[in-house]
Amino acid sequence: MNHPLSGVYGASLTPMTPNGQLALGDVARLLDFLAGRGCHGALLLGTTGEGTSFAPDERRVIFTAALGVREKHPNFHLLAGTGTPSLEETIQLTRLAFDLGFNGVVVLPPYYYRKVSDDGLFAWYDQVIRRAVPSEGHFFGYHFPGVSGVGLSLDLLSRLKEAHPKAFAGIKDSSGDPEHATQLGERFGSDLLVLTGSDRLFSHALQHGAGGCITALANLCSPELRQVWQAFLAGDMPAQERAQAILTAKRQVLDRYPPAPPLLKAAISRLHDFPQWAVRPPLMPLSPELAEQAALEFSQAG
């Protein structure tokens, strides 16, 4: 909890116009919305932000547009999703994020070769950190084996932390596995900043040493996430459990309409007066009927 990047983060959506262009004017607007509803920061171009669907030049303009949030919220933390299967491209994107003034990067493993060894993953991550992370930068691994197909073992995390005790700040744990969350706390304690990617497990993760969260549902439910966070800090378990129950109910809605980006873009438009942002293929938008039904379920959940 003492790490400068602890807290509640939104896994930000990426605004797009109906004709598939980037809606750059809406990027800072969305981040301002998240900041005003309790987020300490946001991750740009993660899974929820459809990061792997955008070319490097597009990522540059999205990252640049995000800086506008600091005009109103100078202390809002910005994290960039920079992981690709290409070592050189990942290094270039990571350098770019830090050059622009981002606080940290969240980096998927190279996800095409799914049976590589820890030695191979260590060599890949080690090069990215050595060649792209400045002395004051914070680097987070991204553990999401259900999507990337490549997990980050506890032993690998330990090797990276030993090799880069300052730069290797922590991990975004999107495994959704409560036992893994427990093991992270037992193995690393406060030495590794764990940001859970699971809304359902936020309370559990905090109780086992996590320092915050980065979640898709924060686009709609950051006040409830912040309530869990504040109640945990205050030692108010009843309040923490109440807020967590609301989060769990709303997450159940999200899980009924996968994948998350089309649903969240439809719901945030209907519930918070944002434009109806498009998604990039292979994702497809929800039908108007499903979008209305999902928005209604969100409003009623919890």
State pLDDT tens for residues 153-193: 999 999 999 999 999 999 999 999 999 999 999 999 999 99
Q: Is 9 part of the annotated catalytic residue set?
A: no
Q: Is 142 part of the annotated catalytic residue set?
A: yes
Q: Which domains does the chain have, with CATH numbers?
A: 7-239 (3.20.20.70)
CA distances (Å), origin 118, targets 158, 160, 253, 289: 11, 11, 36, 46
pLDDT classification of 2: cutoffs 50, 70, 90? confident
List the catalytic residue out of 14, 84, 94, 172: 172
Q: Name 215's Cβ contacts closer than 8 Å, sequence gap at least 6.
A: 9, 10, 11, 196, 197, 198, 199, 202, 225
**3-state SS assignment for residue 3:** coil
Q: Give the mean model confidence (pLDDT) for residues 12-28.
A: 97
Q: Is 161 part of the annotated catalytic residue set?
A: no
List the catalytic residue out of 142, 161, 215, 265: 142
Interatomic CA distance for residues 96 and 98, integer angstroms: 5
List the catalytic residue out of 14, 47, 48, 90: 47
Per-residue pLDDT, 233: 97
Interatomic CA distance for residues 8 and 297, integer angstroms: 24
What are the strands, taking DSSP E only, across 45-125? 77-81, 104-107
pLDDT classification of 302: cutoffs 50, 70, 90? confident
Say yes or no to pLDDT of 151 above 80. yes
One-letter amino acid for residue 45 of the chain? L
Q: Note the pLDDT tens digit of each residue in 106-133.
A: 999 999 999 999 999 999 999 999 999 9
Q: Note the pLDDT tens digit of each residue in 216-246.
A: 999 999 999 999 999 999 999 999 999 999 9
Say yes or no to pLDDT of 98 above 80. yes
